[in-house]
Homo-oligomer: A and B are copies of this chain.
């Protein structure tokens, strides 16, 4: 076994080319073995094993600097840079994240999980190198859907004319990103593949870039030859390598979309189970199916309704079959959220009824379009914000809790937080049918709950909170998926201290119900806000600010302290505990605030986690 001897890139360089090919085969088997037990980005990594071996064979990392993009293609790189045991030893499987991570290794230059970042980041490494008078190679390894993003295109355009020194872009063209690749650029890549790189109207040459074509992107020897030819080059060059996504594992080669990222173990011999989840309405409920089916129904009934998604089809289980069912009314824009939101604004402006869907962490990529194109123009579009939840946090690059401070402070936007299925569907229908406001809806992640009474159909009278239980002494304002937490805390207060707390479902994240808040001090001594998102800049602070000038009422804001979170190493349950969001903790702190302030001060609980 070669993999046992690989402790760093130097050990790769000591091999012959034939041995490198054997190493690659062992690495592929190792990857398959681990990912069949843990899940993860399978097909992308199977495709880049040879390219990664060749990179470390030719270049001298970490002096030479390789930036991976999308960095979910970095597993083979981690295997070759001192982290092999994280793939071979089941006890160490969790010792690495799924993206490049600066705290893990000096061979990882950035902790990065979003797409399209490598060219710009690497251009910065190159600029600094030139300022310092150094001469290492700088390599941006980009592919698997990353090249079409605006940031990558800006970077490509910049280095083409503004960098006159060593810069190597390895374009990993696997002919697919997550679903189908979209865009004229991918058609040009196909043309270049079909013509062995010789087509006229070469996108890269049009930008003035030097360009090389490597047909056999899964052949170590061919790749080594190509990389050697550009090593120490004195100007930017694009090395276009053609790889096969899922290479070497037939189930993955044949199903690159379904094996892009697996979220559960599978049998290596039988292959992953691609049978659709046996969803039955009213039975095994999940919001992905509920919302997908609802959107499909609405689209069938109304040709002006369109669902637009940015490379996150899996978030609503919009499989190829379901996309086909929606026809032209379903638009996958690829990982280009800026274009996606701006186009959504345009559709709404011309009388269409667009629903744009992506994850909380990817909405961060389109802040300006939400603010300027959508909200200044008051375009009546719907944004569905998926994964916006403490239960969705993955690694630090996918901390899905910043949508509240980001979106709730944009004027004109109506950001709604449903607390159960009936309320969610009513909000969605209202949003699709109304023509006054840009609306965003924060999809809960804590399970599917049901309304205990009739829900409102019309949400156009903004910022009206709903009092679900009328009580006294303590008012709990429990937002979105933390509504059920609020219920539990209210129950505990009754049980432990005979306090009949008021329980409020605020519904609107973008504004406060001034009338209701102003009425609280009469009967209450403490208002508690709960939100499953970043506390700073969020919902609760607005309540604290509004009540700040009132006498005799305290406000306790609870949510997540400002931080990039990481549930690779800390579980969501631990995060709740750290932020004193467990029901028992909340109950303790509420009782303390009502009675014995000094105790709280000494204990330090209420004053945060620092």
C-alpha spacing A207/B188, complex, angstroms: 6
Report whether B540 and A537 are in contact in the complex, using a CB–CB cutoff of 8 Å: no
Interface presence of A253 (CB below 8 A)? no
C-alpha spacing A373/B338, complex, angstroms: 17
Q: If the complex has contacts A331-B162, A364-B368, are A346 and B124 also in contact, measured as CB distance less than 8 A?
A: yes
Instruction: Tell me the A405-438 residues at the B interface (CB within 8 Å).
Output: 405-406, 408-412
C-alpha spacing A489/B129, complex, angstroms: 51
C-alpha spacing A188/B365, complex, angstroms: 28
Chain-B contact segment, one of A46-54, A104-112, A491-499: A104-112
Report whether B121 and A343 are in contact in the complex, using a CB–CB cutoff of 8 Å: yes
Report whether B346 and A128 are in contact in the complex, using a CB–CB cutoff of 8 Å: yes
Q: If the complex has contacts A200-B201, A551-B597, are A564 and B351 also in contact, measured as CB distance less than 8 A?
A: no
Report whether B149 and A154 are in contact in the complex, using a CB–CB cutoff of 8 Å: yes
Q: If the complex has contacts A339-B154, A349-B125, A352-B128, are A562 and B185 also in contact, measured as CB distance less than 8 A?
A: no
Report whether B606 and A132 are in contact in the complex, using a CB–CB cutoff of 8 Å: no
Chain B neighbourhood of A354, CB < 8 A: 124
Chain-B contact segment, one of A28-36, A216-224, A311-319, A541-549: A541-549
C-alpha spacing A328/B609, complex, angstroms: 45
Chain B neighbourhood of A345, CB < 8 A: 110, 121, 124
Q: If the complex has contacts A346-B122, A364-B371, A562-B411, are A158 and B208 also in contact, measured as CB distance less than 8 A?
A: no
Report whether A182 and B200 are in contact in the complex, using a CB–CB cutoff of 8 Å: no
Report whether B349 and A110 are in contact in the complex, using a CB–CB cutoff of 8 Å: yes
Q: If the complex has contacts A156-B184, A349-B109, are A151 and B376 also in contact, measured as CB distance less than 8 A?
A: no
Q: If the complex has contacts A158-B336, A372-B114, are A342 and B124 also in contact, measured as CB distance less than 8 A?
A: yes
The one of B130, B161, B554 in contact with A183, judged by C-beta atoms closer than 8 angstroms, is B161
Report whether A409 and B537 are in contact in the complex, using a CB–CB cutoff of 8 Å: yes
C-alpha spacing A112/B122, complex, angstroms: 32
The minimal Cβ–Cβ distance linking A578 to chain B, given in whole angstroms, is 15
A300-327 CB mask vs B (1 if < 8 Å, else 0) is 0001101000000000000000000000
Interface presence of A557 (CB below 8 A)? yes
Interface presence of A172 (CB below 8 A)? no
Interface presence of A532 (CB below 8 A)? no
16 A–B pairs (Cβ distance < 8 Å), ordered by A: A112-B373, A121-B349, A124-B350, A157-B336, A183-B207, A187-B207, A203-B206, A203-B207, A364-B367, A375-B564, A409-B534, A537-B538, A537-B541, A544-B555, A548-B555, A549-B555
